[in-house]
Amino acid sequence: MTTVYVHNNNQSQAVICSDGSQGVMRISNIDVAPRYSFKFYSHAHLGFWLDKEQFHNGKSLIVKGVLENERFKIQFID
């Protein structure tokens, strides 16, 4: 499982993973229904998105890919 470290400040930001890889989290539709989109540099991991109800500390998820599935955990940091 890969842990994605995220600041819980409701802003788009760079993210770091437990394996040292990096990416970005972008927030869209902030005023209506926020969507948190995660993309990782160098295709290190599969990208995914979460809606407001799914985005919380400790959230675990499985992202299904064509060749493999990947497990993630969201961890809020200060």
Q: Which residues of 1-35 are buried (b: 16+ CB within 10 A; e: fewer)?
A: ebbbebeeeeeeeebebeeebebebeeeeeeeeeb
pTM: predicted TM-score of the whole model, two decimal places: 0.89
Query: Residues of the chain with pLDDT > 90: what percent?
Result: 76
> Which tens digits make up the pLDDT trace of 27-53?
998 777 899 999 999 887 999 999 999
- List the beta bridge partners of residue 21: none
Give the per-residue pLDDT at 78: 83
Give the per-residue pLDDT at 26: 96
Q: How confident is the model at residue 15 (pLDDT cuts 50, 70, 90)?
A: very high
22/33 Cα distance (integer angstroms): 26
